[in-house]
């Protein structure tokens, strides 16, 4: 049951293509990390997270399962808040994402998330598939 809620909750695409406005997505870096290879659209990444409602109720957490969630960033496999809020991250970085319902689950809600809920995620970038240590520490081509 928990796995099916996770799949439904986090792997549901909204089908909205416009960028989130500053009123819809707020990003706070909790643990900054310096690197040269940051996440970008199309990367296959793994993220540990804890999702809460604004009242502090935890509705899901990968930390409790001990397994980070893998997905293709920027491809509509997760909510828009994640597709945009997890761009330009370094491995090990931790962010807090505040997501307006417009970039989360909107009027429909889903599983334990009521309709029109703003969500707060603690998200930690665990891995960028295919990126080795030398790429993380070397400047990207456009930085040379």
Q: Report the pLDDT value the prediction gives residue 141, as an integer from 0 to 100.
A: 52
Q: What share of the chain is helix, strand, coil (3-state, %, to 5)?
A: 20, 30, 50
Tokens (6 digits) for 85: 């809020």
User: Comparing C-alpha atoms, which of 60, 40, 50 is closest to residue 112?
Assistant: 60
- Annotation marks residue 49 as catalytic: yes
| φ, ψ at 38 (rounded to 5°) | -100, 160
Q: Report the pLDDT value the prediction gives residue 17, as an integer from 0 to 100.
A: 41
Number of residues assigned to the chain? 144
105, 110, 113, 128: which one is catalytic? Answer: 105
Q: Report the pLDDT value the prediction gives residue 133, as an integer from 0 to 100.
A: 60
Q: Report the pLDDT value the prediction gives residue 35, as an integer from 0 to 100.
A: 94
- Annotation marks residue 63 as catalytic: no
Is residue 15 helix, strand or coil? coil
Tokens (6 digits) for 143: 């930085």
Q: Report the pLDDT value the prediction gives residue 144, as an integer from 0 to 100.
A: 52
Q: Report the pLDDT value the prediction gives residue 132, as an integer from 0 to 100.
A: 74
- Annotation marks residue 60 as catalytic: yes
Residue 130 burial (CB < 10 Å; 0-12/13-18/19+)?
A: exposed
45, 60, 83, 128: which one is catalytic? Answer: 60
79, 110, 113, 128: which one is catalytic? Answer: 79
Mean pLDDT by 10 residues, the chain (144 residues): 38 46 91 96 98 97 96 97 97 98 94 97 97 60 52
Q: Report the pLDDT value the prediction gives residue 69, as an integer from 0 to 100.
A: 98
- Annotation marks residue 105 as catalytic: yes
Residue whose structure tokens are 């990126």? 131
Q: How far apart are CA 129 and CA 136, in angstroms?
A: 12
Residue 39 burial (CB < 10 Å; 0-12/13-18/19+)?
A: buried
Question: pTM here?
Answer: 0.80
| φ, ψ at 37 (rounded to 5°) | -110, 100
Q: Report the pLDDT value the prediction gives residue 1, as an integer from 0 to 100.
A: 36
Q: Where are the domains of the chain?
A: 2-13+23-132
- Annotation marks residue 43 as catalytic: no
Architecture per CATH, 2-13+23-132: Roll (3.10)
């Amino acid at each position: 049951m928990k796995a099916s809620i996770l799949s439904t909750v986090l792997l549901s695409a909204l089908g909205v293509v416009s960028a989130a406005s500053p009123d819809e997505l707020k990003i706070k870096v909790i643990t900054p990390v310096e690197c040269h290879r940051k996440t970008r659209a199309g990367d296959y990444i793994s993220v540990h997270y804890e999702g809460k409602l604004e009242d502090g109720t935890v509705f899901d957490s990968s930390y409790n399962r001990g397994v980070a969630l893998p997905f293709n960033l920027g491809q509509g496999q997760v909510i828009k808040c994640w597709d945009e809020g997890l761009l330009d991250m370094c491995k090990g970085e931790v962010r807090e994402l505040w997501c307006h319902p417009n970039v989360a689950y909107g009027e429909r809600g889903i599983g334990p998330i009521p309709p029109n809920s703003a969500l707060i995620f603690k998200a930690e970038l665990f891995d960028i598939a295919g990126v080795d240590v030398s790429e993380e520490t070397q400047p990207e081509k456009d930085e040379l």
